[in-house]
Amino acid sequence: MKNKKIMTLGFASATVAFSLFFTSSLFGDATVKDAETSRLQALTKFTKVISIVEQYDVDEITIEELIDKALDGMMKNLDAHSNYLTEKDYKNLKVQTSGEFGGLGITVGMKDGALTVIAPIDGTPADLAGLKSADIILKIDEKSTISMTIDEAVSLMRGIVGDPIDVTIVRKGEVKPLKIHIVRGVITIESVHAKKIGEDTLYIRVASFDQKVAKDVAKEIRKNKSTTKGIVLDLRNNPGGLLDQAVDLVDLFVSEGDIVSQKGRNKSDNKTYSASKNSTITEVPVVVLINGGSASASEIVSGALQDHKRAVLVGENTFGKGSVQVVLPITDTDAIKLTIARYYLPSGRTIQAVGVKPDIEVNSGEIKTHKNEFAIKEADLKEHLEQELEKVNEKKEIKKEDKKANKDIITPEMLDKDIQLKEAVDIIKALVITKG
């Protein structure tokens, strides 16, 4: 409560308030006195610098502006995810968490000091325009992103639905920057999609972790339980979301043990989330698809399933965001977003800046197939059994038509265009065979 009062005081009384607050703690042993004296000296230096800048800076600037700039600079220098939220930033954050807004449909983060696309959201303007995970954003329209914060970038990319925007990016493998034209749209996220692969494999795509993910995934598993012998869980380009949904999703597959823990400097921030046998609904083999766009909650899910030996991970190394942020209101109109803890997987390993490594590394791409025009089969022989062949072809044709008409089925042709998914399906088949 004291901190809140101090943060809302005007500058004229700030020095006095700081002095009264900290001087009241100067009684006690010598170590405490030294520490509090040092803090008081630092705060005195801070207020002195503000006073000098206010008096002598070439441009006239108010105390309120100076304090905002000081807070902004302090938060930026803590880590890539902590920042000071002005009234406008705070409103934007509330709009974002409401589930629908006008924008591009990408999640961005800072990687090696550069504004980087973590993942485009399925079906959004950014996805349809061709933005990809790991693209580095150089410019938003004509504004350079150098020294720009994540929130400043997000604010620029949001706007009126239907308004165009140009994003200049650097992409691995391209010799020069690419300018991508995107028209802003209403961003609504349908997080869970399910399809069948063959007769007995269930494919579940989780695009982000909103409030209903675990419930929707459980619904699909139960609906297809009688025919499902294996599950492919696709977390590629999933930028994360709600922690409780990540925990609940793992709980569907794991019946006991820790799922994830978070540890901070304060003991009150330390928490451990564990699995419950009552929540587990399936024991079939699972393969999880991951890539560089899999971040935060999706890293918790894939890493926990990997540690519990409950799934085989296929794809590429994940993004590596393993920190916990909270939004703390300072006044009714502004707030700070602060990193308070790190996530740790069941084995004790961290995700932060390391990510989750797949069990089987497979780069994205298509499977190149070559038809052998000179191969001779039974059907080419003069006296082959035509009647039986006709029946086989008839059945194949019916199945082919059914698959074309059904959007809930992934065909072999679709698998050939996604080598990571094809590898996942092959592993599921092997696991089903060995399990019997």
Q: Is 282 part of a structural domain of the chain?
A: yes
pTM summary value:
0.74
Q: Known catalytic residue: 321?
A: yes
Closest CA to 424 of 236, 259, 207: 236
For residues 213 and 183, membership in a common domain is answered with no
Which token pair is 120?
């485009």
Shared domain for 13 and 119, answered yes or no, is no
Residues 201 and 183 in one domain: no
Are β-strands 335-344 and 311-315 bridged in parallel, bridged antiparallel, or unpaired? Answer: unpaired
Q: Taking 90 as the threshold, does the pLDDT of residue 366 lie above it? A: no
Domain match, 218 and 278 both: yes
Based on the domain organization, do 162 and 281 belong to the same domain? no
The answer to the question of residue 426 being in a domain is no
In this structure, are 355 and 226 located in the same domain?
A: yes
Domain holding 177, by residue range, is 87-188
Cα separation of 425 and 250, whole Å? 20
Please count the structural domains in the chain.
3
Indicate the average pLDDT of the chain: 85
- Shortest CA distance to 193 belongs to which of 410, 371, 47? 410
Choosing from 133, 191, 208, 296, which is the catalytic residue?
296
Catalytic residue of the set 111, 195, 321, 337: 321
Domain presence at residue 131: yes
Task: Write out pLDDT tens, residues 140-158.
Answer: 999 999 988 887 898 899 8
The CA distance from 18 to 43, in Å, is 7
Per the model's pLDDT, the better-predicted residue between 423 and 28 turns out to be: 423
Domain assignment of residue 306, yes or no: yes
Query: Do 19 and 97 fall into the same domain?
Result: no
Candidates 72, 234, 251, 307; catalytic one: 307
Whether 155 and 204 map to the same domain: the answer is no
pLDDT at 8 over 70: no
Confidence of residue 407 (pLDDT cuts 50, 70, 90): confident
Whether residue 307 lies in the annotated active site: yes
State pLDDT tens for residues 278-323: 999 999 999 999 999 999 999 999 999 999 999 999 999 999 999 9
The answer as to whether 80 is a domain residue is: no
* 139 in the same domain as 18: no
